[in-house]
Amino acid sequence: MRLTPQQRLEAVPVRVQGIPALAHVTHFERVPAAPNPRLAPSDLDAWGYTDMEYALHDRKGYPAEWLERKLDREAQDRVEEEILTVMK
């Protein structure tokens, strides 16, 4: 199923195992570190965090579950770094 424009925030060009693809970002939230970590409600809020969800699609915009199966931890980290550079 293709994502509608309302369902995605950004289409980020990425590579998975050398294969060009698009990461359609559906959720992105960056929480900065608390100014005073001792007053933060949790350790995550004290140090800050980034939460994102995305779906991999081929270059034409069609869902590519086969690309998601090729994602290992290293490839996933690279894809997320590329998303971070675009979404900042």
pLDDT at residue 37 in the model: 83
Q: What is the pTM of this model?
A: 0.78
Q: Which of 2, 54, 4 is nearest to 29 (CA)?
A: 54
Query: Does the pLDDT of residue 74 top 80, yes or no?
Result: yes
Q: What is the mean pLDDT of residues 7-25?
A: 89
What domain range includes position 25? 5-87
pLDDT bucket at 36, cuts 50 / 70 / 90:
confident
Instruction: Give the count of beta carbons closer than 10 Å to the beta carbon of residue 56.
Output: 21
CATH number of the CATH domain containing 59: 3.30.300.260
pLDDT at residue 7 in the model: 53
Q: How far is CA 19 from CA 9, 12, 54, 57, 88, in A?
A: 22, 14, 17, 11, 24
Instruction: Quote helix, strand, coil % in the chain, to nearest 5.
Output: 35, 35, 30
Question: What's the number of domains the chain is made of?
Answer: 1
pLDDT at residue 46 in the model: 86
